[in-house]
Structure 1
Amino acid sequence: MRRALVALVLASLPAAAVLAPIPAAAQDWVPMRAARLQALDKVTARITILEARVNESATFGTLSIALRSCNGRGPDDVPDAAAWMEITDSRAAPGSPPAFRGWMFANAPGVSMLEHPVYDIRVLECR
């Protein structure tokens, strides 16, 4: 049964997708020095574009955004960005965990996102 399912899935893919592996260079991320972030205040619908440098913090409302890493794709690849951030809220109880800690991806914002009742942060690009 399992082999039949795998065979059915492989048969539905184009031959190029099955036979041609993605070149290693196309899978590489390039470290960058800064990120452009889009910040949304859900109460006022105010959108702000923030510039954050690696190992520095940016603020938006009650949030403090510490950018630890920002990686982009090479010039010959499909544009994308991935940023490792730690976001804390000054209104959170003392000793509480950060509002967000992890990677955010420009091309897949729903994969890993800030869950906050007032603010939303999204990665636009790495520079």
Structure 2
Amino acid sequence: MIRALAAALTFAAGSALAQESVVSAPGAVLRGLDKVNGQTVDVEVAKGETAEVFGLDVALGDCRYPVDNPTGDAYAYLTIWERDARQAVFDAWMIASSPALSALDHARYDVWVIRCMTP
């Protein structure tokens, strides 16, 4: 019983420590790809703002990164929809180091997180 309690406290302390080492950034750098012609574009989006990436509107809810690795392990909450459409085609967290884990599923365009904008 005591070992289980100690393990639970260790896990909770580790989770709290991991949460403290993550910082919210003022914005994110995203990359868009037009799969038809191979054109790419990099776009900076501020938190709470919407940017156009080819035929898509991309809203950034938040971009977070670990203090010890701000460029490699960034993750952002993105809402993506086609222009003049009401329903989002993507509404989730996307991880910069592993964009395939939570990817936009669109026939023509691809969007992924490159990094958070750090102050």
Residue from 67, 70, 73 that aligns with 2:66: 73
The AA in structure 2 aligned to 1:41 is D
Structure whose CA Rg is larger: 1
Residue from 52, 56, 59 that aligns with 1:59: 52
* TM-score calculated relative to the size of structure 1: 0.73
Q: Counterpart of 1:111? A: 101
Separation of aligned partners in 2, 1:31 and 1:90: 28
The reply on whether 1:40 has 2:33 as its aligned counterpart is yes
Deviation (angstroms), 1:107 = 1.0
* TM-score calculated relative to the size of structure 2: 0.77
Alpha-carbon RMSD: 2.1
Given that residues 62 and 91 in structure 1 are in contact (C-alpha distance below 8 angstroms), is that contact kept between their aligned partners in structure 2?
no
Separation of aligned partners in 1, 2:106 and 2:55: 11
Separation of aligned partners in 1, 2:96 and 2:81: 20
Aligned length: 103
Given that residues 26 and 77 in structure 1 are in contact (C-alpha distance below 8 angstroms), is that contact kept between their aligned partners in structure 2?
no
Gaps of 5+ in 2: 1-10
Gaps of 5+ in 1: 1-20
Q: Counterpart of 1:88? A: 81
